[in-house]
Amino acid sequence: MARSAETLAWAEKIGTGIRSRRKRLGLSLEDLSRLSGSTVPTLSHIERGTRDVKLSTLVSLSLALSTELPALFQVDQLPSAKMTSPDPGQGGYDLEDD
């Protein structure tokens, strides 16, 4: 299944946030790997936004980075997007602020 522009934007922004937090804590990818249980290649892909991340991995990363899970989703400069389901009859999610 192709990744939508919105998915790619979120993956990149979340990955950038994880990298930024890791570096602020003075951790290498190897350090974060040991703390989170994810492999270095997986972490590299996540930080670059080239891999979809399971919720369990995000939880492990938030614990390893000593941050709350929602903080991984609080990213700046994410373009507002209306996400809709592939099936027009199913409704979607409006992520824009009112």
Residue 83 has pLDDT above 60, yes or no: no
In a domain, 43, yes or no: yes
Number of domains in the chain: 1
pLDDT at 72: 85
Is the Cβ–Cβ distance between 37 and 43 less than 8 Å?
no
Helix 40-48, helix 29-36: angle, nearest 10: 110
Give the CATH number of the domain where residue 50 resides: 1.10.260.40
Mean pLDDT of the chain, nearest integer: 80
Q: Is residue 91 part of a domain?
A: no
Range of the domain at 42: 5-72
pLDDT surpassing 50 at residue 8: yes
> What is the rounded average pLDDT of the residues 60-65?
96
Residue 94: how many other CB atoms lie within 10 Å = 12
Mean pLDDT of 10-30: 94
